[in-house]
Amino acid sequence: MVVELKRGRASDVVVGQVLRYMGFVKEEIAENDQSVEGVIIALEDDKKLRRALAAMPSVSFYRYQINFKLVKA
């Protein structure tokens, strides 16, 4: 599995990046009987990314949320 973590918004360009990494893993690392999947994790996405992912069932997208609390020591 290839995981691409983006700090903010992810765009459709990230799909090409993940596919390149997946191609490398498939050719150089994975065994012949292994499949390679991709995951993009970002704070936000956009319509272009969703459209690109619609054509790539082997790549999933997840949004992350950050919650933190300051506690006086």
> Once rounded to an integer, what is the mean pLDDT over residues 17-21?
96
Q: What percent of the chain has pLDDT over 70?
A: 100
**In the chain, where the domains are located:** 2-63
pLDDT at position 11: 87
**Calpha distance 63→55 (Å, rounded):** 19
| CATH number of this structure's domain 2-63, picked from the four choices 3.40.1350.10, 3.40.50.300, 3.40.50.620, 1.20.80.10 | 3.40.1350.10
pTM above 0.75, yes or no: yes
**Calpha distance 63→44 (Å, rounded):** 6
Q: Are 52 and 12 in contact (CB under 8 A)?
A: yes
